[in-house]
Amino acid sequence: MVKAKRFVVAKHFQNEPKTTDLQLVEEELPALQTGEFLVQAEYLSVDPYMRPYVLKYPLGITMIGAQVGKIIESKNSQYPVGKRIVGYLGWRTHTIVNPQACTEVDLISQKPMLLPDLGNLSPSLCLGVLGMPGNTAYFGLLEICKPKQGEILVVSGAAGAVGSHVGQIGKHVLGLTVIGIAGSDEKCKWLVEELGFDHAINYKTENVAVSLRKAAPTGIDCYFDNVGGDISSAVMYQMKPFGRAAVCGSISSYNADASSLPKATILQPVLVFNQLKMEGFIVSRWSDRWSEGIQKNLQWIREGKLRYRETVTKGFENMFDAFVGMLQGKNTGKAIIQV
């Protein structure tokens, strides 16, 4: 009999998540039925979307999220023992999966996928640069911003999983001038010195509008927005006519509830008079092209055009701390939990 640990949603988050909002429970799993297989989690992901998305679901569910795990028992010949999968199985150590049935919370309608051949790369990358965040960077930048060579791209949340990836595609694949906005000097140094960004702005110590004007005196063509709020308003007001903004996330307001939503500068005047295009997106829009994104990102890693960093927290029990830490900016690159 296999014992599984999982985090159950005991209370809906209000403002910053609290330890008492989730409850760690243990349960015995039943024997496998035909068509099922048993997955043991190796790496789990904590992502910003979890904070707002989980509110849509009833209390008592397993906390939502993706993991990479190894198949340790199987009654399904397409998923043999020893192979690894990536899937939205939630915050749990062991899971019985029936690929024909929906997962417990079918977030982006993805069935568990067998990992592609990664050579000597870590399987954990399938939660980051070779997974959902990597595809968010790939499709969001190329399909929404549609940058042209020589243009100027600004990325907020630039030292995180999606942002660091967007900036590097912009710089090393598309030949753009890239300006990143992030929350510490150390992160800014990493962006410029290791990832090749042209400029980086620390939004906690600098006036973003003033620093942007210095870094891009002629204005901005493309904005990849991970954070929303005042940072984004400052960027939008410096966009050139016909600039394009891809609105990927709004982490600056995820911890606010309806009554305490932060206010930011109104955007309509600059949208109208500079004829800007601002479009939100969810990466599942490109689920039919999922493996194209993964393969392209893999190719760019192998060609040395794309670097990545993971901030790894050890121990399944520490998932909550890793989650809150990521929301507070303690991660550089992708926040991962190693079981």
Q: Which amino acid is at 326?
A: M
Three-state SS across 6-59?
EEEECCCCCCCCCHHHEEEEEEECCCCCCCCEEEEEEEEECCCCHHHHHHHCCC
Query: How far is residue 134's CA from residue 121's CA, in Å, rounded to a whole number?
Result: 15
With respect to ligand NDP, which residue has the nearer C-beta, 95 or 226?
A: 226
74 vs 164, beta carbon nearer ligand NDP: 164
Where do contacts with ligand NDP occur on this chain (CB under 6 A)?
47-49, 133, 136, 157, 159-163, 182-184, 187, 226-227, 231, 248-252, 281-283, 326-327, 329, 331, 335
Considering beta carbons, is residue 59 or 282 the nearer one to ligand NDP?
A: 282
**Degrees (nearest 5) of the Cα angle 257, 286, 180?**
60
45 pairs with which residues across the strands?
Answer: 336
**What's the chain's Rg over C-alpha atoms?**
20
Q: Which is nearer to ligand NDP, 256 or 339 (CB)?
A: 256
Distances in Å between the alpha carbon of 103 and those of 100, 147, 221? 9, 37, 41
First to last CA, the chain: 20
Q: Which two tokens stand for residue 54?
A: 């989980």
CA distance 206 to 228: 17
Does residue 48 sit in helix, strand or coil? coil
- Residue with the two structure tokens 């707002």: 52
The residue among 7 and 49 lying less far from ligand NDP, judged by its C-beta, is 49
Name the minimum Å distance from CB 65 to ligand NDP.
12
Nearest residue (CB) to ligand NDP, 64 versus 96: 64
| Contact call for residues 155 and 300 (beta carbons, < 8 A) | no
On whether the CB atoms of residues 223 and 246 are closer than 8 A, the answer is yes
Please say which residue, 177 or 331, places its beta carbon nearer to ligand NDP.
Answer: 331
Residue 22 · residue 7 · CB < 8 Å: yes
In the complex with ligand NDP, which residue's Cβ is closer, 210 or 282?
A: 282
Contacts of 207 (CB under 8 A, 6+ apart): none
The secondary element (H helix, E strand) that includes residue 284 is: none
- Give the shortest CB-280-to-ligand NDP separation in angstroms: 7
